[in-house]
Structure formats: C-alpha cells, structure tokens
Chains A and B, each alone.
Chain A
Amino acid sequence: MLNIKIVTVIGANGAMGAAVAGIFASFGNVKVNMVSRTLNKSMDGIEKAVKSVRADSIRSNLVARTYEDLAVCIHESDWVFESVAEDYEIKDEINSVIARYRKPGTIVSTGTSGLSIEKLKNVFDEEAKSLYFVTHFFNPPYSLPLCELIPNESADQETIESLKIYLEQVLIRKVVVLKDAPAFLANRIGFQFMNEALQFAELYEDRGGIDYIDAILGPFTGRGMAPLVTVDFIGLDVYKAITDNLYHSISDLYSNSFMLPQFVDNLINEGKLGRKCGQGLYKLDRDSTGKKHLFVYDIKSQTYRPKIKYSFYFVEKMVAAIKESKYEEAIKILLDNDSEEAKICSYFLIKYVVYSVYVTNEIAYGIHDADTVMAYGFNWVPPLALLELFGGKEAIIEFMKTDNRLIPFIPSFNTSEIFPSKLNYRRYLRAKF
C-alpha cells in the first residue's frame, strides 16, 4: 500500500480541488496543503472541503497555503494533485514548478477532464514521468465516487497498481484504468448522448426542441436528470470546450454526433451559459409573488417560452410500470410503441449501449468499465445492465436492423465481446417523467 502522509492540492479553492482535498483529508486521513492564489481563497477551499464530505473532523488535516509556499509544500509532499484551469499553458507552468521542487518518489497527478497526459508530461524528467498520472474525479466526488486513472506511457507499472489500490481501498473510489484519449471514457459516452440530444432538439425544433427531447429522455430512461438539463447544469461554455475537443479529435462513425449545434454557440455568445448564469437552455424566473416559473429556449424563435409539460402515452405507461418495478414490461411498452417519440427514445437508449461498448473497447481494458464509469461517474443506468434489460446483444441487433439510423453501427457491435453486467439497472430507472 502506498504510504501517503502529505498531499498538496494546487487550485484548492476550485470546486474540484476543494472536494478532492476533502476526499484525501477524510478517507485518506492525510495532511493536505490547500494552495491557491490567496490565503482567503485557501480558507474558502477548506470550508468547501469540510462541507463536501460533511465532516468537521477533517478541518485539522487541512492547511491553508498560497502560491508563495508552493516550493515548501511540494517538497514535503508524497502526492501533488494539480487542479488548475483546463489549459495546456497554465498546466505546463504549474508543472514546471512542481518538477523543480518535488522530491524523488513523489506522485504527481492532474485532475484534467480531457487534456492529454502525453502532452502534459513533457516538462517532467524521467523519474517524475514514471510517477505522473491523470486522476479524473467527478463532481461532486463524495457522491460520485468514480476516478478515471490514466497513466502516461512512461509510468511505472507497479505504481499504477499500487495507486489503483490506494484509490480503491483508502479513498473509496471506483477506479478504471484507461488509455490516454480525448475526454477519457465517462465524458466521452455521456457527451455523445447529450450532444446528440442537442442535435435532435434542433432537428425537432418544430415540435418544441429542447424540452421536447428532454421529455423523451427523462429520468425514466435511467438518469437522475434529463440530458439537456444536465448540459445546462454543466454550463454551456465548459460543455462546448469538451465537445469541440472531442469533435476535432475523433474520426469514426460517431464523429458527427459531437458537432455542436449552432444555437448553442449563439447562446454562449449572448452570455447565456446555463444554470450558473440563470439562463441557458432553460431559464428560471420568479414572478412578483416569488413563485418560480421555468422557461425554455425556443430554438426556432430564439426566445424563451414557458416549458411545456409534455405527456406521451408510452412514457406514462412506462413510468407506471417502473413504479411497480416491472422493468421488462416498461421496455416492452417502449419497443411496441410506434410513435415518433418512442422511436427516438429507443434509438437513444440503444445507441447509448452500442457506443458505450464501442468506445470502451477502444480506450478501456475491460468491457465492464463501461458500466462502472456511467453508474459511478454520471449516476446513469449502466449500459451493459441496460443491454440485458433489452434482451441481450442479439435482441438489440435485431432492433437495430429496424432503424436505418442504427444499421451502420451493427457490424462493430456484432463483433464486440460482451459479458453480463456486474451491476443492476433497477435503481437507475426512475418512475419519473
């Protein structure tokens, strides 16, 4: 087991830096140097960390420091976790400081959610490279325990293994080891789903667009919140950065699903970045009595209008079945329904399964990683578990043959080796619209 006593978190006032510091200080019970630009910001980071793991007892493990203390902090640390802005230049600059002051044997990891470890590693010497990793935690890490672990090609094999064990057994993470790939695994699968949902919102703008698609892909399909509500929650600017990176980095059958619709760019240009700004795909307003009203961006008219409470027969029937835990019956209702909305819904769910298998084969080391990342990183129904609910691989292929949009994806899916899920779909399928 790794012997970690002191950790330095750089960027400790950010949402992720503070929350990851909380994980180290609680489950790891280590001293954490909380480094940010000012002492006040670091103190804020400490409060965020305490709140994130709901434990005042960890306060004594957290030490507020500033960039002026960086040399001392890095030099005494067994692990340095960098959580600064998602920008190669900024990270290179910090990494150079880390490289200068780290003692031999110190592990360095970055919390990047998409930058290449192979590009980031260049400022380090050979010994440092052997101990340099991506440790991609999800937000908030206390309730989403996934950690994607990506070693660089020069990483020490024994350290990869011991780091994985430390993350799993001490920090109570669900760990998947992945290859260096754009956005890694969970975001790659999740953003494919969300971006295609955005594209369909544009495609079906005459039927309502954003809230129309969210009504078809709501919690009853196996996610805590509808996909476009999630995009709004992430923030359109952050969402765009990740999606654009994926679109420019990937050239396969799925590439086009990462193309950002124009209306999202328009919203970003207008500063309507999502929930953090009060408006984006959705907008929450209060009237003079303080009552909340939810509006949605109407793509066609480019204005906000009241959100429509859609009611589809197949959705109502599915939700009623799921309410009584009749999951197979719910899927049968979906597949037996000929409405356009049911077809869209089943298309998305099957594409989710098929793409998860495809991309997991490409960048993971085991097919079950698809389930792990989506269940523990997104709180979405595990795709392999969903596959079983649909009746297995052969049943899905038969269905794919009936949908022209899915036919091109059959060959690669057909040749994929799939093993039964180790997780369960039940808790994820909610009896909610």
Chain B
Amino acid sequence: MRRVYVLGGEQSDYERNWSKEGKSLTGMFREIIEDGLLSTNISIEEIDKLNVQNKIGAFIGNFAAENYLSQGHLGAFLTEVDDVFYGLPSARYEAACASGSVAIDAAMAKIKSQEYELAIVVGIEMMKTVNSKLSGSFLGSAAYFEKEAEGIDFPFPNLFSKLADVTIEKYNLDPNRYMDNLAEISYINYSNAKRNPKSQTRNWFMNKSQSSQRKTDSNPLVGGRLAVSDCSQTTDGAAIVFLASEEYARDYCKRNNLQLSDMPYIKGYGHRVAPLTFNSKVRESINEPYLLKWTRTAVQDAYVRSGLNVEDMDLFELHDCFTSSEYASLSCLGLTQPGKEFEVIESGLISFKGSQPVNPSGGLIGGGHPVGASGVRMLLDLYKQISNNAGDYQVDGAKNAMMLNIGGSATTNYTFIVGKD
C-alpha cells in the first residue's frame, strides 16, 4: 500500500471573529490557502504544473455553510482565490464535526490509488454569523434533528449531558467524583491552550475552581449537568494540510533540504459509523463493555492498520466537543479500561506533562471548534508534533500520535495515526 505523507499546513487564528471583521468565506479561503502555501513552501507554479497533469485535487471539509452563510458548493471556492485552481478537481465533504476527517480520508484514497500526487485538504467553518442559540439549532442537524433536536435549545449539550448520565449509571460512578473529573478535563484543555498561539481561549481565565463551580453567573448550566466550561464554544476557523504520495514527498524533501525519514506519514486510520440516535447507541451498549462501541472499534482499526498499539502513542488529539465526550473516549483510545477513565485523569497521565498527553493543543474546548475544520486541525497538530514543529506545546520526542474526530453524538468516528519511521 502506498504511503500518504503529510507535508504540513496551517490553521487560522481561532480567536478571530470573521463576522466582526466583516470578512467573507472567500477571504477565509484566501488566507488559509496563502498561509498553507507559505508554510509548506509550495508554489502556485507547482500547483499549476500538477493541475495540468491532473495529479492534484482539493478536498474541502465543511458541515453547515448553507445554514451559517446560505452557501453550498464549497468545493468551487478555491477558484475565487486564484485562477490556478480553475480546472482543479475539488469537492466538499460532510460528516458533521468529522467533516474534516472525511475530506482527509477521500484525499488519502486518491493518493493511495495513485490518481493524485498531491492533495490539498481544507477544513473550514464560519459560525459567528449567528447568535449562539441559533448556532446550537444549526448544530442540531448533526443529530437526528426531528427526534433529538427540534424545539430544544442547545441540543448537543443536552445529548452529551445524557452521555454523562449514562456513563455514571453504567459504571456506577460517584457523580461528584465524575463531575470533578470533567472539571479537570476542562481545566487541562484550557491550560494547554495557553501555549498555543492560534487557540481561541489563550487569553481566557480558567482554573480548576472555576470549571468546578457550575450553575453560577459566569459558568451557567447549558444542558443537563454540563456548564459552559464543559463545552467547546462557537468559533470561526479554517485549517489546511497538504498530503502527498511517497514519490512526491521524496522530491519535496530534496527541494526543501529535508529527510524523508523525518517526514510524518499516515500510518493507519479507522472509520466507523454508530447508530444515529443517542438512545440507539445506549441500547446497543447495554451488554457491551464500551459505551461508545464504534468509537472504540475505529480506534482499534487504526491500531491494527498501523501495526501499533496504545503504548506506542506519544500523544493524542481527541474530540472534546464536551468534557463528557473526552471522558468516554479515554478508554476507547485504550489508555484505560472502560469505567476506569478517572484513573488516567487523576494520575496526571493525560496532562501536558504526563506520559501520554491528550490535546496538547488545547483540543476543542481550549483551542476552538469550527466544526468542519476540526478534523483537519487535528491532523495538522499531529504533523506539527511528529515533525517537532509544535513550538511551546511540543511534546518532547513525539514519534507516533493518534487523533480521534467524531461527528454527531459519537456517530461518525474517525481516527488517524501519524508517525515517522
């Protein structure tokens, strides 16, 4: 099987509010493309050459531009940035918050099948165009809208609060200890985000006391048990990565005075879709050890495909859309047995200084969650870590890393393992 290399990329500053700046989707595409080309030292001439040869494609991850911007057909937007993209095959990919991952997957397939030498993968979402309540309603379409979201304020905090309820019940946990674990998860993500110069919350205050105090003016409950500090928050943002065939990556390394052996490549992936509604997930899990069975399976698939296991992973970027999703995912990654997630939180294993840090970037809670961009941003962060380019949030000596990106209530589950030889 052909290898798929990650040449690098860029993410936008998730602190920015593009509506306040008055800027358009075209502007966001322009900036992320320009930044990505600059950071990877890939020229417009190079794109042009590959386009003429029909050896390049673009894959755009986006969830809900129709709602937020009244705009579909995002695959065509690169042509607004530069006419070098005229004729270049490009399309949009959608799988709720895993939209970025499905775009990566499609790009990877084209490279593996030897159709393309280079793939441009962009994840993009502008969400600050509407207020948070309306945004919450738009996001409800990632669930089964009619059954789970219609007429409900903030449907997803409610669904992930149910996940918290079910987790407590299934594993017979002390609710206070569990909620304290969630507060710790929130605090870790915010703390990690302080080291990330592109994170949404890098200048926000959050300590353990604040994330533990729920139902206050500054940390109100937004759905069931979950307060603002348990949630990732609406953000604008985009991320880009360039994926390449081994042959192209070899030439790229020569041109840029790099060693192919130092280049990160995708070692394995997993993609599993769970039953759509949350209740059907719960029903299915009654006699299963894992609450999120298909999340666990997607993780295992990636381990099998890569020939690696959890001990080989130096860090994880995972989908903390809510603290309860990070909690349930920790056992799915294999860090601990299901029902024992508190062990790796309380021991400090997943903290930045722990032996297997989770979300050194700040994740979605600290870093920001422009939904269609998150999968691509995670892959970019794996690239940064493995190529030793993560700056202040670099995990020392990282050789292999895994990302877990989920869409809906852990419905679409995507994992990728990135490493180097």
Report Cα–Cα, A26/B31, bound state, in Å: 35
Residues of A within 8 A of B13 (CB): 427
- 8 Å CB interface, A46-60 against B: 50, 53-58, 60
Total interface residues in chain A, CB < 8 Å: 28
- Closest B residue by C-beta to A27: B205
Chain B interface residues (CB < 8 Å from chain A): 13, 16, 20-24, 26-28, 30-31, 80, 194, 203, 205-207, 209-210, 212-213, 216-219
Report Cα–Cα, A212/B18, bound state, in Å: 27
Number of A-B contacts (CB under 8 A): 73
A431 near B21 with CB under 8 A, answer: yes
Interface of B is mostly: loop
CB distance from B341 to the nearest CB of A (A): 25
Residue in B22, B24, B30, B210 whose beta carbon sits within 8 Å of that of A57 in the complex: B210
- Closest B residue by C-beta to A61: B209
B207 near A323 with CB under 8 A, answer: no
Residues of B within 8 A of A54 (CB): 205, 218
A5 at the interface (CB under 8 A from B): no
**Which are the 8 A-B pairs with shortest beta-carbon distances?**
A431-B22, A325-B27, A57-B210, A57-B209, A56-B216, A26-B205, A325-B30, A432-B22
Residue in B23, B206, B207, B209 whose beta carbon sits within 8 Å of that of A325 in the complex: B23
Q: List 20 A-B contacts (CB under 8 A).
A: A53-B205, A55-B210, A55-B219, A56-B213, A57-B216, A57-B218, A143-B203, A322-B23, A323-B22, A323-B26, A324-B24, A324-B27, A324-B80, A325-B28, A427-B13, A430-B20, A430-B21, A431-B27, A432-B21, A432-B22
Report Cα–Cα, A55/B208, bound state, in Å: 11
Report Cα–Cα, A124/B304, bound state, in Å: 71
Residue in B203, B212, B217 whose beta carbon sits within 8 Å of that of A172 in the complex: B203
A326 near B23 with CB under 8 A, answer: no
A427 near B27 with CB under 8 A, answer: no
B216 near A430 with CB under 8 A, answer: no
A56 near B23 with CB under 8 A, answer: no
Residues of A within 8 A of B31 (CB): 325, 426
A29 at the interface (CB under 8 A from B): yes
Residues of B within 8 A of A60 (CB): 209
Residues of B within 8 A of A431 (CB): 21-24, 27
Query: Would A57 and B207 be within 8 Å (CB), given that A50-B218, A427-B16, A430-B21 are in contact?
Result: yes
Mask: chain A, 35-73; 1 = CB below 8 Å from B; 0 = not: 000000000000000100111111010000000000000
Chain A interface residues (CB < 8 Å from chain B): 26-27, 29, 50, 53-58, 60, 142-143, 145, 172, 219, 319, 322-326, 426-427, 429-432
Residues of B within 8 A of A426 (CB): 31
- Closest A residue by C-beta to B204: A54
Q: Which of B22, B205, B207, B217 is the most central at the interface, judged by chain A CB atoms within 10 Å of its CB?
A: B205
A319 near B216 with CB under 8 A, answer: no
Residues of B within 8 A of A58 (CB): 210
Report Cα–Cα, A50/B209, bound state, in Å: 14
Residues of A within 8 A of B218 (CB): 50, 54-57
Report Cα–Cα, A172/B205, bound state, in Å: 9
Residues of A within 8 A of B26 (CB): 323-325
Report Cα–Cα, A429/B80, bound state, in Å: 20
CB distance from A375 to the nearest CB of B (A): 12
A323 near B24 with CB under 8 A, answer: yes
B22 near A322 with CB under 8 A, answer: yes
Kindly list 6 other residue pairs between chains A and B, CB separation below 8 angstroms, not including A27-B205, A56-B218. Answer: A55-B206, A55-B207, A57-B210, A60-B209, A324-B23, A427-B21
- Closest A residue by C-beta to B80: A324
- Closest B residue by C-beta to A320: B24
A56 near B30 with CB under 8 A, answer: no
CB distance from A20 to the nearest CB of B (A): 14
Residues of B within 8 A of A172 (CB): 194, 203
Residues of B within 8 A of A143 (CB): 203
Report Cα–Cα, A27/B216, bound state, in Å: 19
Query: Would A56 and B21 be within 8 Å (CB), given that A172-B203, A324-B30 are in contact?
Result: no
Residue in B20, B24, B30, B203 whose beta carbon sits within 8 Å of that of A145 in the complex: B203
Residues of B within 8 A of A55 (CB): 205-207, 210, 218-219
Report Cα–Cα, A344/B25, bound state, in Å: 31
- Closest A residue by C-beta to B202: A172
Q: Which of A53, A55, A319, A323 is the most central at the interface, judged by chain B CB atoms within 10 Å of its CB?
A: A55
Report Cα–Cα, A156/B26, bound state, in Å: 53
- Closest B residue by C-beta to A224: B20
Residues of B within 8 A of A56 (CB): 210, 213, 216-219
Report Cα–Cα, A319/B23, bound state, in Å: 9
CB distance from B414 to the nearest CB of A (A): 30
Report Cα–Cα, A54/B190, bound state, in Å: 15
- Closest B residue by C-beta to A220: B22
Report Cα–Cα, A429/B194, bound state, in Å: 25
Residues of A within 8 A of B28 (CB): 325
Residue in B22, B24, B210, B213 whose beta carbon sits within 8 Å of that of A430 in the complex: B22
- Closest A residue by C-beta to B216: A56
